[in-house]
Amino acid sequence: MPDGAQAGPDEDRIEAAVRAVLVSMSGDLTAKEAALLAELEALGRTIARAKAEIAQLSVDDITGAHIPSATDELDAIVDHTAQATNEILDACETLEKLEAEVPPAAAEALQGAVTRIYEACSFQDITGQRISKVVSALKAIESRVEAAVANASGRPAPAPAAAAPVAPKTEGQELANGPQLPGGGTSQEEIDRLLASFD
Amino acid sequence: MDKNINVLIVDDYRTMLRIIRNLLKQLDFNNVDEATDGQEALAKLRAGNFGLVISDWNMAPMTGLDLLKEVRADARLKNLPFIMITAESKTENVVAAKQAGVSNYIVKPFNAETLKEKIEKVMVHA
């Protein structure tokens, strides 16, 4: 097992088996058997070292400071972009009120520009959804790290949150994946063709 | 197309509600109400008299797809034009929405021309 990998029940059994073989074997060994035993002994040491390293991870720093700090920073990004977007929208609404006071050609140009700003401001929704996905991933990593360290150190795993009755997911919830990466979703043109194929 | 109808826009991002409201105003739809999830929207639809729903998908506790199903199951609301505007752009999402009876589907980020085109299309069939 590579250094730093997670030790689990299977590795525990391998380590115990290696030690049992080493204890039970004695007397003359062939060169092949000796090499095999040496390999097994090295494997046992690697497992023990990995377990010790995992157990010594500063998991409290990770789960108590690093991940909460990262999620707070991400929440702050969402708040600040929302605030900035609302200020942009305030300015756009002020510009729209001026449309009645300028010549028609200028009013049309003004509205065209404001419309483009509205379209661009929808970034805040998309980035907010993407950041929510990252926060969820960080929380999943946090619980996996806690479980891995508890397993390696022999401590009981953290108790899961109080088990509240969980309603089965609806189809809408099951299919809610958030924004796709570029190239991963379906374009508006493809959606239009897909919808037309039902007619 | 009657632009005096009441339009309900549904999205859990307040800035997106504001953007859609302003784009609708540019299209001369001035009777616009808002909801921030499916449950609130359903209560408003049942209590009011709306001619068009424009809804996001990814909201809690009730998603846009679940709202759509409730609307189509309601005898009074079942024929209400319903446009989904969402970042959910997988084919399976579009198919599920169509099977649930969506009138049209717009993927975010979208432009004003697409919104206008889809509204005109669904209102012709309303």
Extents of the domains making up chain B: 7-124
Task: Reply yes or no on whether the pLDDT at B83 is more than 70.
Answer: yes
Q: Are residues A63 and A30 in the same domain?
A: no
Confidence (pLDDT) at A1: 40
CA A30 to chain centre: 51
Are the beta carbons of B110 and A122 separated by less than 8 Å?
yes
Residues of chain B contacting residue A196, judged by C-beta atoms under 8 Å apart: none
Looking at residue A100, what DSSP letter applies?
A: G
The domain containing residue A42 runs over which residues? 9-55
Q: Is B62's CB within 8 Å of A82's CB?
A: no
Q: Which residues of A touch B64 (CB under 8 A)?
A: 172
Residue A161 lies in a domain: no
- Grade residue B94 by pLDDT with cuts at 50, 70 and 90: very high
- Residue A137 domain-assigned (yes or no): yes
CB contact under 8 A, B88 and A175: yes
Specify the number of domains making up chain A: 2
The fold for domain B7-124 equals Rossmann fold (3.40.50)
- Do A178 and B88 count as a contact with CB atoms less than 8 A apart? yes
* C-alpha distance from A35 to closest chain B C-alpha (Å): 55
**Between chains, do B87 and A126 touch, taking CB under 8 Å as contact?**
yes
| Pair A63, A151 in one domain | yes
Q: In this structure, how many other beta carbons lie within 10 angstroms of the beta carbon of residue A162?
A: 5
Range 21-50 of B in CB contact (< 8 A) with A = 22-23, 26, 38
The residues pairing with B83 across neighbouring beta strands, listed in sequence order, are B54, B104
Based on the fold, state whether residues A124 and A82 are members of the same structural domain: yes
Contacts of B15 in chain A (CB under 8 A): 82, 85-86, 89, 121, 124-125
> What whole-number distance in Å separates Cα of residue A28 and Cα of residue A40?
17
Q: In what order do the strands lie in the sheet with B82-86?
A: B32-35, B7-10, B52-55, B82-86, B104-107
A197, part of any domain: no
- pLDDT score of B12: 94
CA–chain centroid gap for B106, Å, is 10
Residue B58, chain A, CB below 8 Å: the answer is yes
Q: Per residue of chain A (199 residues), what is the pLDDT tens digit?
A: 444 444 455 556 666 776 677 667 666 677 887 788 788 888 888 888 887 777 777 667 777 778 888 888 998 998 999 999 999 999 999 999 999 999 999 999 999 999 999 999 998 889 989 998 898 888 888 888 778 777 776 766 666 666 667 788 999 999 998 898 888 889 999 999 999 999 8
Averaged pLDDT of chain B: 96
The per-residue pLDDT for A148 is: 76
Would the pLDDT of B53 be above 90? Answer: yes
Tokens 């998309």 locate to A126
A92 CB neighbours in chain B (<8 A) are 22
| Within-domain flag for A162 | no
Q: Inspect the interface and report whether the beta carbons of A125 and B13 lie closer than 8 Å.
A: yes
- Domain check: are A85 and A41 in the same one? no
- The answer to whether A179 contacts B19, with C-beta atoms less than 8 Å apart, is no
| pLDDT above 90 for B103 | yes
Domain annotation covers residue A199: no
Nearest CA in chain A to B38: A172
Least confident of A168-182, B29-43, B60-74, B78-92: A168-182
Same domain, yes or no, for A44 and A119? no
Q: Does the pLDDT at position B24 exceed 60?
A: yes
Separation in Å, CA A28 to CA A19, A32, A34, A60 = 18, 12, 9, 49
Determine the average pLDDT of the residues in B2-10: 95
